[in-house]
Structure 1
């Protein structure tokens, strides 16, 4: 360990200077700018993050020391700091583990924001600050020191990071307890009253004690150890509920799932597994999600932490194993990019919103960059699975690779054209893009590519139908012309403007990709759904008969059903599906107008709504589309005319006119 890492008790300038010296050299940066993960990069980012934690703690202690009343009945912050320094001198590895715990990062960032007035919390400030005292006490226990330290209690619970939680029966929401240790035996006493002894093995439960569990697995010489943080005080994603304590059966299920996923990663993705072994630190368990829709999350202040829904039981064992493995890879890539962004910015200021094909909502630029980094790695994962899996699992892998490859390339090419990327951001994008383009010559079955194109086009059409509001004057002019029985105005074909406004109802826009996965992996379940049987699992949420017909290949039925849904205003997604189907109908005259409408389903939806408000009558959607399509007849280079509906997955950001962040 470097000298600068040995003692956290040092001045602000020294710690800041040490952090500023952490830079990835050119070779490591090249390794990071790829669709794979490397353990060398992981170690470099871990070192940088450790220095950053030291800096955050030093800033926190300095700010609290300047406001001594902020600690309430607890000891001064510098006493906790000195105890932590003693523990580090005795056991530096244990203190490093404490400081690198993802909860430490989340806590420190939250308290600094509270001290600076940028975030509010119902908890007393002294209770949040007091987690410094709990951190110091935990370090002292791990180092085998004799000590006494007051710490905060919340609803009778005292959390000692990386150790566990002492629990007392008390009605008081906020209190003070004392942690003490002598001769290697530690205990927690609440307000001078009841006592809980900390077990010698703190990961074990005891009387009044919940241990901090760990999951450990090993395969072919590579090991992974994760803290199971079901005692977390600070949410990885703001606003989410604290995790519930797992029962022993759930812990066993997690262990079995991790054993299988880790064996798969080590066998088939060994270099990735080496990186994950070094950098994955904790798991915050979430309730089971839907089949093919694993819930997961990560955060910039929680390096090495992944929130993950319990692996499902609906699908076959291999399916669940692959889902768990690819989700670990996905979230770990977010962690790596967050680590890089703690060292250097990747973009200039940019308030625009963009389409990201992996999300239902419009995303800021840095969110799109995060998605591109994560999902290009996901594409590489599925590329390997194409060579490993057979049968329906192999068909699924080829579909997923085709989809992730095309979406990643489209997003990366769009990002590369943006002036808001700085030099490091552009190097990152171009490194990823070089990897993705190198896969162009890898042949995939035509059916996999066709399904991937259909899924990507439908998601983008659904996204536009929800979130893009076309130019009001164009919509008004079109509604006027329809009402008067005139031809559609030329503005329909020449104006591609509009505004992005986030529609909170835009959810499950990946419904076609979701159903295609079901059709590939479980044809009988898909067939039963097509026949109208009640769903037997949580895999049809958000799907309608129109979507099922579309994925099932009955396009005439799908067109009729989407048109009916659009007429009754069931959901904006229907306009996207209908526009795509109309764009693909080969019997239409030139097809130029319908292909252009396939790129702009929001216009079809908006004009229909404007006419209905004026006349009080519902306009037949197909009739309206045929009429609007005539606006493109004779237009020179009409928007969308050259690309067709299938290219919607190739356009990943709104135009400058439509990408402005708006209110209202």
Structure 2
């Protein structure tokens, strides 16, 4: 029995059965690679979850009929959706799996239950079910008539496009009517005809663009969603509609990235072809710092920044490809977490080497899963690329293999991990440990070690607050002119998120620039423009002028990360204590201690 029929009759569908992954599928998922089998299993589970979300939403609205406002009853929309599924099950399946459907259903339920606020009346969110039903009926070729929400003069039909009606009211309704093969959207004084090929633009209609990327027999069908109403990143504005030039730029970049994935990362490409549905574009970001995100309710969606137009094609292609893999892995883990918990509630915050800010336990697991796959991507590139691209791949592989493994080894014994969480961590560690014998050149290993140490020191300086008694005892010793107290094992401290702790990846960022674009790095080293968040001290550090770097860090200790750089160069291991003691001494002696002298003094205790 079709799931929609069962739902419309109020009975339980077999499609809503609990899902469990068999041992083989779970093992394939809990690895540094992407698996077609695991992707398909998670897709099946996610489809059942979507049906359940819709069923719960309909039941809750049916019990509160006033929440549909000026729209028809929720049953009218549900019946149209069920009719559409009977007529065109595959088309409706794709529509129900659209990431926007997941984001909308979750937000509507949260608003119904009072756990989320949003602009506009509740019926506009509830009424997106009516728009979903209308879109399904258009896809199924049915004749119908139904009222849907019009928000800010626009009607969004999921999976089809957006009609621009220019109504004066911010929240009103429009009628969607289909007869004799023509779909028409009407409000007072405004009519928009939906073109036969809805992805095309027409007067007062913006089609939802579809990209088909094919290479060597493998095809990725991707919705290019610059019309999204429900943001992937909560609280962010909707993307701007891209013009033809920007769309062509995206298409060229994605075609190259897809060819690279199919040629050299075939298993990743097969999983992406099955489970990646839409891409929400963002403007270009800083070089080597692409912006990207995914969301638990948006299975199969990635939002990511465009490749910068002034960087070489090979570099842009690799960045796009690895970002697709990175965010798709987040999607896969979100799918697993819809089936089972990976960790119990845990109040602790942790350092995540790929983030500026402290992260909760589940967030660190998420990142470790994603960056294990990133390491695997660069492992392949290190084998297949040449020249500067190979040198960069070796650095990235060495860095993310190291950082992912260190993070997973920290997580492995954590008592808050569930049984599945431990299986996941063990599986990832097994893959990373199996790469120990890979022949990575010493320069790449050294740069990766230095980049990891720089990030760790900057993170500690920003976000770790040392224990009060330790700060007082160390301050007293400095003021008395006696040696610093030696640390007794792991000293207590508290992780407190510093909102100013941004772009602490300066060392790794400059290494990428030095490897990939030596002339650009030389200009930066000669006093030219610097990347965002990079200081002259960081440039001198990466350039190898360590004396100058230490001098510049010491002159800039209003920045917490400067204490991190100074501690690395002068042999101290606790930049957070350096920062705290400097402030304490300043408060008690009315003048700050010399930063380099204080650092060397504390280094004597750290090295003891």
Mapped to 2, the partners of 1:84 and 1:100 lie a distance apart of: 14
Trace 1:296-375 onto structure 2 (pairs within 5 A).
296-375=292-371
> Is the contact between residue 11 and residue 58 of structure 1 (CA under 8 Å) also seen in structure 2?
no
CA 33–563 in structure 1, closer or farther in 2 if over 3 Å, else same: same
User: Does 2:575 correspond to 1:612?
Assistant: no
Tell me the secondary structure at the aligned position of residue 266 of structure 1: helix
Residue number in structure 2 paired with 1:193: 189
Deviation at 1:39, TM superposition (A): 1.1
Residue number in structure 2 paired with 1:662: none
Match among 69, 74, 90 for residue 77 of structure 1: 74
> Is the contact between residue 166 and residue 188 of structure 1 (CA under 8 Å) also seen in structure 2?
yes
More displaced stretch, 167-176 vs 156-165: 167-176
Match among 235, 240, 244 for residue 236 of structure 2: 240
Mapped to 1, the partners of 2:252 and 2:215 lie a distance apart of: 13
Residue number in structure 2 paired with 1:377: 373
Residue number in structure 2 paired with 1:562: 553
Match among 85, 89, 93 for residue 86 of structure 2: 89
Deviation at 1:614, TM superposition (A): 1.6
Mapped to 2, the partners of 1:342 and 1:79 lie a distance apart of: 30
Residue number in structure 1 paired with 2:563: 575
Residue number in structure 2 paired with 1:415: 411
Deviation at 1:242, TM superposition (A): 0.7
Q: Deviations over 1:387-429 (max 9, x none)?
A: 1100000000000000010001101111111111111111111
Tell me the secondary structure at the aligned position of residue 14 of structure 1: coil
Mapped to 1, the partners of 2:549 and 2:451 lie a distance apart of: 15
Tell me the secondary structure at the aligned position of residue 83 of structure 2: helix
Mapped to 2, the partners of 1:494 and 1:416 lie a distance apart of: 21
Deviation at 1:628, TM superposition (A): 2.7
Residue number in structure 2 paired with 1:168: 165
Q: Deviations over 1:292-325 (max 9, x none)?
A: 1111000000000000101112321100000000
Tell me the secondary structure at the aligned position of residue 317 of structure 2: helix
Tell me the secondary structure at the aligned position of residue 343 of structure 1: coil
Which stretches in structure 2 are left out of the alignment for 5+ residues? none
CA 12–30 in structure 1, closer or farther in 2 if over 3 Å, else same: farther
Deviation at 1:349, TM superposition (A): 1.4
Mapped to 2, the partners of 1:79 and 1:576 lie a distance apart of: 62
Residue number in structure 2 paired with 1:62: 59
Q: Deviations over 1:537-568 (max 9, x none)?
A: xxx111111000110111111111111112xx
Match among 34, 41, 44 for residue 41 of structure 2: 44
Deviation at 1:629, TM superposition (A): 3.7
Deviation at 1:495, TM superposition (A): 6.3
CA 347–380 in structure 1, closer or farther in 2 if over 3 Å, else same: same
User: Does 2:441 correspond to 1:445?
Assistant: yes
> Is the contact between residue 537 and residue 553 of structure 2 (CA under 8 Å) also seen in structure 1?
yes
Deviation at 1:122, TM superposition (A): 1.7
Deviation at 1:10, TM superposition (A): 4.9
Residue number in structure 1 paired with 2:532: 541
Trace 1:448-597 onto structure 2 (pairs within 5 A).
448-489=444-485, 492-493=487-488, 496-535=491-530, 540-566=531-557, 569=558, 571-583=559-571, 597=572
CA 8–279 in structure 1, closer or farther in 2 if over 3 Å, else same: farther
CA 460–632 in structure 1, closer or farther in 2 if over 3 Å, else same: closer
Match among 417, 428, 436 for residue 432 of structure 1: 428
Mapped to 1, the partners of 2:112 and 2:472 lie a distance apart of: 51
More displaced stretch, 622-631 vs 412-421: 622-631
Residue number in structure 2 paired with 1:638: none
Q: Deviations over 1:483-527 (max 9, x none)?
A: 23344345x555611101000000001110000000000011101
Deviation at 1:213, TM superposition (A): 0.4
User: Does 2:26 correspond to 1:29?
Assistant: yes
Tell me the secondary structure at the aligned position of residue 556 of structure 2: helix
Residue number in structure 1 paired with 2:223: 227
Q: Taking structure 1 as the reference length, what is the TM-score of the superposition?
A: 0.90
Deviation at 1:143, TM superposition (A): 0.6
Higher relative contact order (CA 8 A, sep 6+): 1
Tell me the secondary structure at the aligned position of residue 404 of structure 2: helix
Mapped to 2, the partners of 1:632 and 1:181 lie a distance apart of: 76
Tell me the secondary structure at the aligned position of residue 555 of structure 2: helix
CA 373–518 in structure 1, closer or farther in 2 if over 3 Å, else same: same
Q: Deviations over 1:415-474 (max 9, x none)?
A: 111111111111111111100000000111100000000000000100000000001122
Mapped to 1, the partners of 2:326 and 2:483 lie a distance apart of: 50
Mapped to 2, the partners of 1:425 and 1:486 lie a distance apart of: 48
Match among 212, 232, 243 for residue 216 of structure 1: 212
> Deviation above 6 Å: which 4+ runs of structure 1?
none
> Is the contact between residue 8 and residue 54 of structure 1 (CA under 8 Å) also seen in structure 2?
no
Q: Deviations over 1:69-98 (max 9, x none)?
A: 111110011110000000000001111111
More displaced stretch, 421-430 vs 19-28: 19-28
> Is the contact between residue 8 and residue 79 of structure 2 (CA under 8 Å) also seen in structure 1?
no
> Is the contact between residue 145 and residue 181 of structure 1 (CA under 8 Å) also seen in structure 2?
yes
CA 550–400 in structure 1, closer or farther in 2 if over 3 Å, else same: same
> Is the contact between residue 9 and residue 82 of structure 1 (CA under 8 Å) also seen in structure 2?
no
CA 494–416 in structure 1, closer or farther in 2 if over 3 Å, else same: closer
Q: Deviations over 1:199-253 (max 9, x none)?
A: 0000000111000101111000001111111111111011111111111111111
CA 8–556 in structure 1, closer or farther in 2 if over 3 Å, else same: farther
User: Does 2:7 correspond to 1:9?
Assistant: yes
Residue number in structure 1 paired with 2:248: 252
> Is the contact between residue 4 and residue 81 of structure 2 (CA under 8 Å) also seen in structure 1?
no
> Is the contact between residue 111 and residue 117 of structure 2 (CA under 8 Å) also seen in structure 1?
yes
Q: Deviations over 1:302-352 (max 9, x none)?
A: 000000101112321100000000000000000000001111111111111
> Is the contact between residue 2 and residue 86 of structure 2 (CA under 8 Å) also seen in structure 1?
no
Mapped to 2, the partners of 1:633 and 1:286 lie a distance apart of: 47
Deviation at 1:106, TM superposition (A): 0.2
Residue number in structure 2 paired with 1:102: 99
Which stretches in structure 1 are left out of the alignment for 5+ residues? 584-596, 635-664
Q: Taking structure 2 as the reference length, what is the TM-score of the superposition?
A: 0.98
Mapped to 1, the partners of 2:297 and 2:601 lie a distance apart of: 53
